[in-house]
Structure 1
Amino acid sequence: MSSFDTDVPVLLLRLDPHPFHHGTLGAIRSLGRAGIEVHAVAESARGPVGRSRHLHRMYELPAGPVAHAGLLELLRSVSEGIGRPAVLIPLDDRGAIAAARLAGRLLGRYLLPAQPAGLPERLADKAELARLCRELDLPHPATALPASAQQAADAAGELGLPLVAKWSRPWLLTPSAGLRSTTLVRTRDDARRLYELTERAGSALLLQRRLPGGPDTDWFFHGCFTRGGTCLIGGSGRKERAWPLRTGLTPVGRRLPNPQVERAALRLAGHLGYRGILHLDFRRDAHGRYHLLDLNPRPGDRFRLFTDPSSGLDVVRALHLDLTGRPVPLARSAPGWLFRAGNHALLPALATAFAERPAARPPRTGRARRQGVERAWFAADDPLPFLAMTGSWLRSGLRKDAYRMRTAPPGSTPLPARPMPARPLGVSQRP
Structure 2
Amino acid sequence: MGPDRGVPGLIVKFGDYPLHHGGVGAIRSLGRLGVPMCAITEDRHTPAAASRYLTRAFPWPTTGTEEPARLVAGLLRIGRRIGRPTVLIPTDEEAAVLIAEHQEELAGADFGGFLFPRVAPALPRRLASKQGLHELCAEHGLASPDSVCPQSRNEVEKFAFTARFPVVAKNREAFQRRERPAVAGTTRINTREGLLELARDWGERPGVILQEYLPREQAEDWVVHAYFDENSAPLALFTGVKVRSWPPHAGMTANAYVVDNPELADLAARFVKEIGFTGIIDLDLRFDRRDGQYKLLDFNPRVGAQFRLFESEAGIDVVRAMHLHLTGRDVPEGEQRAGNRYVVENIDLPAYLAYRRSGYVTPHAPARATGTELAWLARDDMMPFFTMLARFVRPGARHLIQLWRTSRRGGTTTK
Give TM-score scaled by structure 2 length. 0.89
Per-residue CA distance 1:319-366 (angstroms, 9 max, x = gap): 0111111111112221111011111111011222323243235664xx
Structure 1: distance between partners of 2:363 and 2:190: 29
What code does the residue aligned with 1:334 have?
Answer: R
- Per-residue CA distance 1:304-331 (angstroms, 9 max, x = gap): 111124x321101100111111111112
Change (3 A) 1:87 1:345: same
Q: Secondary structure at the match of 1:131?
A: helix
- Amino acid corresponding to residue 115 of structure 2 in structure 1: L
Q: Which amino acid aligns with 1:159?
A: A
Separation of aligned partners in 1, 2:206 and 2:17: 23
Structure-2 change in CA distance of 1:263 and 1:83 (3 Å): same
Q: Partner residue of 1:212?
A: 215
Distance of aligned partners of 1:196 and 1:342 in 2 relative to their CA distance in 1, 3 Å threshold: same
Say which of 232, 236, 243 aligns to 2:235. 232
Establish whether residue 160 from structure 1 lines up as the match of residue 164 from structure 2. yes
- Structure 1 residue ranges, 4+ long, deviating more than 6 angstroms after superposition: none
1:127 aligns with 2:131: yes
1:39–1:55: 8 Å Cα contact kept in structure 2?
yes
User: Is structure 2 residue 192 aligned with structure 1 residue 188?
Assistant: yes
| 1:158 counterpart letter in structure 2 | T
Q: TM-score scaled to structure 1, two decimals?
A: 0.86
State whether structure 2 residue 379 is matched by structure 1 residue 380: yes
In 2: Cα distance, 1:92 partner to 1:36 partner: 22
Residue pair 1:218, 1:282 contacting (<8 A) in 2 also: yes
Give the Cα–Cα distance (whole angstroms) in 2 for the partners of residues 341 and 205 of structure 1. Answer: 29
CA distance in 2, matches of 1:158, 1:293: 23
Q: Which amino acid aligns with 2:103?
A: A
Q: Which residue of 2 aligns with 1:405?
A: none
- Shift, 1:206, TM fit: 1.4
42 and 255 in structure 1: CA distance in 2 versus 1, 3 angstrom threshold: same
Change (3 A) 1:158 1:259: farther
Residue 378 to residue 193, structure 1, CA distance change in 2 (3 Å):
same
Q: CA deviation at 1:107?
A: 1.8
Conservation of the 8 A alpha-carbon contact between 1:308 and 1:331: yes
Identical counterparts, % of pairs: 35
Matched, 1:24 2:23: yes
2:320 equivalent to 1:321: no
Aligned CA distance change for structure 1 residues 215 and 79 (closer, same or farther; 3 Å): same
Q: Which moved more, 1:13-22 or 1:354-363?
A: 354-363
Cα–Cα, structure 1 residues 215 and 164, in superposed 2: closer, same or farther, change >3 Å? Answer: closer
Contact 2:242 2:256 in 1 (8 A): yes
Q: Take 2:272 and 2:395, find their aligned partners in 1: how far apart are those partners? A: 41
Gaps of 5+ in 1: 402-416, 427-431
In structure 2, distance between residues paired with 1:205 and 1:419: 24
Say whether residues 1:96 and 2:96 are aligned partners.
yes
| Contact 1:139-1:292 at 8 Å conserved across structures | yes
> Which of 140, 146, 162 is equivalent to 1:136?
140
* Equivalent position amino acid for 2:165 in 1: L
Partner of 1:23: helix, strand, or coil?
Answer: helix
Contact 2:243 2:365 in 1 (8 A): no
Deviation of the 1:158 alpha carbon: 3.2
Q: Structure 1, residues 33-66: CA drift from partner, whole Å, max 9, x if none? A: 1111111113233112211000111112245543
The secondary structure found in structure 1 opposite 2:102 is: helix
Alignment correspondent of 1:292: 296
Cα 1:203–1:261 change in 2 (3 A) is farther
Which residue pairs with 2:49 in the alignment? 50
Q: Which residue of 1 aligns with 2:392?
A: 393
8 Å Cα contact 1:213/1:283 also seen in 2: no
Partner Cα distance (1:166, 1:213) in 2? 17
1:86 is aligned to 2:86? yes
Q: How is 1:56-67 mapped onto 2 (pairs within 5 angstroms)?
A: 56-62=55-61, 64=63, 65-67=65-67
Aligned AA (1:231): P
Aligned-partner SS, 2:15: coil
What residue in structure 1 maps to residue 69 of structure 2?
69
